[in-house]
Structure 1
């Protein structure tokens, strides 16, 4: 396989034992824009995130970082590679690399200079026009399978938040939260997200 971005479109050419592409392949690509690898298949972000997406991401990440100041857990924002694996930590055998909009990692042993290897404690994805349904379904499945304890989906256009909490290895959905709600986390005890504050002043 050539180290060329265009060649990354050929997803039916196996390059590892476990899937079409591996993290070892991913490291060789000189790609523009965000690219994720899910079960060996490539997902590209169609364009840079929209302004509203970035506003919401910045607000939430800042509130998380402020809450976690001096605590064990750390907040990271995209681009930040999260390698999810239940099989091996070898680059050639990792077939899923995602870049969540926001993630929180409490186990520092999962952190290295390349990012995070293993499941973050909390992942937050912020929907935009660049997201597609297949990508969301695949991420739900891989986050559940990999043991991400809490998975939040924020929809800025609808001003809603939905939370999946991992219980007995399966995600249990929350109710739909919207403006007027205070959202809490079962992972980050004491953290409260005021959705009025998050969605305040958003203009399209």
Structure 2
């Protein structure tokens, strides 16, 4: 997402600082993609993600769009800002802004010109060598705390999928699924993904 125009754009925020807000985020002019998690900056690699990562994310986004056609939910693919407020929706009071690989939002009131404010119904993150710790630890925590109903964690190299479902405020993991399994979403009712045919197209 293009940041708002500002006369005082900051090229590189201090990565050791841990109290940045969305208002600060809007002033950054960084070449790399960055996310803000509980006030701390996490930069993504300057190089583009691997081809297999982009293929998988793009094709899953297409599957979701086809399923959601005519329905009230909408699917978005990164880069797309998702702000996760805790107590206030004011820019200078939001400390977490993430860019999931894919997210689905069913409450249209959460959408504005800058992205999504509040928890999506479904978030999909596709693992890559440089982001595993970020996805497995930091994002898991903020997705759970903010109320993301379902969190899919896909590994394109291992061709596996793990689904975390929010139950009474805590994530409950599925078993590790792979080719031969059919993934079924509890957040997007009716959406199913045949993993054997889906992963079979990777080459």
- Considering the TM-score relative to the shorter chain, is it more than 0.5? yes
**TM-score band, normalised by shorter chain:** over 0.9
Match of 2:169 in 1: 169
1:101-152 per-position Cα deviation (integer Å, ceiling 9, x unaligned)? 0000000000000000000000000001220414530111100000000000
Structure 2 residue matching 1:141: 3-state secondary structure: helix
1:23 offset after TM fit, Å?
0.2
1:198 offset after TM fit, Å?
2.1
Match of 1:145 in 2: 145
Q: Structure 1 stretches (4+) deviating beyond 4 angstroms? A: none
TM-score, structure 2 as length reference: 0.92
Q: How many residues align?
A: 195
Q: Which moved more, 1:44-53 or 1:101-110?
A: 44-53
Structure 2 CA distance for aligned equivalents of residues 34 and 115 of structure 1 = 15
Structure 2 residue matching 1:178: 3-state secondary structure: coil
Quote the RMSD (CA, aligned, Å).
1.3
Match of 2:155 in 1: 155
1:32-91 per-position Cα deviation (integer Å, ceiling 9, x unaligned)? 131100000011111311100000001100000000000010000000000001210000
- The runs of 5 or more residues in structure 2 that have no matched partner are 1-7
Match of 2:103 in 1: 103
Match of 2:72 in 1: 72
Contact 1:49 1:130 in 2 (8 A): no
TM-score, structure 1 as length reference: 0.92
1:180 offset after TM fit, Å?
1.1
Contact 2:125 2:135 in 1 (8 A): no
- The runs of 5 or more residues in structure 1 that have no matched partner are 13-18
